[in-house]
């Protein structure tokens, strides 16, 4: 299914929140950029990520507790080890 907005569709709120957390973990967004919330689309009825509005509570909690920072660091080390010869 496609949306007129051309944004990626998430079928459940939970899937959208997980995608939001994953995006904030995998990518280094500049201050004030990148997705911060989810919304239910009026066109397709599914969920999308957005960089506008109030920050999602789950994302805010993960940022405040340091979970996003720790996951970024774990991913960095995992990639470093994976890219060494013999692994």
11-48 per-position pLDDT tens digit: 999 999 999 999 999 998 888 899 999 999 999 999 99
- Domain holding 46, by residue range, is 13-82
In a domain, 6, yes or no: no
Main-chain phi, psi angles of 20, to 5 degrees: -65, -50
The residue count for the chain: 87
In a domain, 33, yes or no: yes
In a domain, 5, yes or no: no
Average predicted confidence (pLDDT) for the chain: 92
**In the chain, how many domains are there?**
1
**Mean per-residue pLDDT, 50-63:** 95
In a domain, 1, yes or no: no
In a domain, 26, yes or no: yes
Give CA separation, 45 vs 13, 19, 26, 51, in Å.
Answer: 11, 17, 27, 19
**Mean per-residue pLDDT, 53-59:** 95
In a domain, 35, yes or no: yes
In a domain, 40, yes or no: yes
């Amino acid at each position: 299914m496609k949306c007129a907005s051309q944004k990626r569709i998430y079928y459940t709120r939970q899937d959208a929140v997980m995608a939001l957390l994953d995006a904030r973990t995998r990518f280094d967004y500049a201050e004030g950029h990148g997705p911060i919330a989810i919304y239910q689309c009026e066109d397709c009825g599914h969920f999308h990520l957005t960089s506008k509005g109030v920050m999602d509570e789950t994302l805010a909690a993960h940022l405040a507790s340091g979970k996003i920072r720790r996951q970024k660091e774990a991913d960095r080390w995992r990639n470093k080890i994976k890219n060494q010869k013999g692994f």
